[in-house]
Structure 1
């Protein structure tokens, strides 16, 4: 979902939301944020970008230089938990975001930036893996939640 799509959705529902109380708008924002967090968590667990393409797989480590075990699990297993993927809702906005150190890790992967693997290690360019973003299903889910809350 692009910024223009969000603006169109905002314009469409703006007048209806102004007629509701701030408490009801906050409850709506909270339910939207929780629903979006769940969908983001599921998408990260499925290792998919918002557009449906799979994540770029991890590089295969050089086993001769590797001491200890080789990590073979899914990427971002802990990062997608509610401990790190926080929601925030007010009467005016709903937010799903990473916090603290995880925010930096997520930003590096979201935009495919360069970072150090360890504090004294070499700089590595990470592949772009969009952790947060709107899919068409998310857009429909938000629209359905808006209609549900406005008709109650």
Structure 2
């Protein structure tokens, strides 16, 4: 973020040098906190410093029904081109075929998992009490914004040192953030294969950030 803030540093350098160490530290801390807050809001909005949206997550694999009752829309040759199927006590056959008792036809039928149009809730009267007719996810679908925890005040912090103020990630979070910020390769789990993550720039000062920092500085030195 240093390059983006070069203009602020150039304009503010002389002003800061004329402040006492205590006053300089006070305004730098205020500027750092404000900049960190701006970074969090932008990350929460899922946008890079240049305003472009983050590349979205890849869609999770579709849910697999449990072995209890299940309900879905399936292609048919009748009116509308599909019908609702309610199956009980089905099993997996060859490949991705589901075989079980089709309540509507009153017979054992097989259905191709990949042809299912849409999974539906199982009607209460047909639910299996042990499963509740729920879908079992191969992996949970996280609907929250990406980096929500990473960008929290616990990990994205601001501070002041001998060089001035800084805003960045701390501890292990800094390594995780760098992988996403730079689009590097990493293992999603200990046993998983390394993958390359899309580049999603997490830190960077925008023109609005620079204006905000200058406004804070000028307001501070202009206060009697």
TM-score normalised per structure 2: 0.63
8 Å CA contact retained: 1:29, 1:91: no
Q: Does 1:150 align with 2:149?
A: no
Change beyond 3 A, Cα 1:108–1:34: same
CA distance in 2, matches of 1:115, 1:18: 43
Q: Which runs of 5+ in 2 are unaligned?
A: 65-136
Change beyond 3 A, Cα 1:97–1:2: closer
Counterpart secondary structure, 1:88: strand
The offset of 1:28, in angstroms, is 0.7
Residues 82-114 of structure 1: per-residue CA shift (max 9 Å, x gap): 011111114641111111111111001101111
Residues 38-89 of structure 1: per-residue CA shift (max 9 Å, x gap): 1001001100000111000001122368624222221011111101111111
Correspondence for 1:33 = 32
Change beyond 3 A, Cα 1:31–1:78: same
8 Å CA contact retained: 1:39, 1:138: yes
2:198 to 114, 118, 127: 127
Q: How does 1:19-30 map to 2 (within 5 A)?
A: 19-30=18-29
Correspondence for 1:72 = 143
Runs of 4+ in 1 over 6 A off after TM superposition: none
CA distance in 2, matches of 1:20, 1:148: 14
Residues 6-57 of structure 1: per-residue CA shift (max 9 Å, x gap): 3343232222221110000001110011000110010011000001110000
8 Å CA contact retained: 2:5, 2:205: no
Q: Does 1:12 align with 2:11?
A: yes
The structure with more strand, counted as a fraction of residues: 2
Change beyond 3 A, Cα 1:98–1:115: same
TM-score normalised per structure 1: 0.90
Correspondence for 1:49 = 48
- Residue-pair matches, total: 151
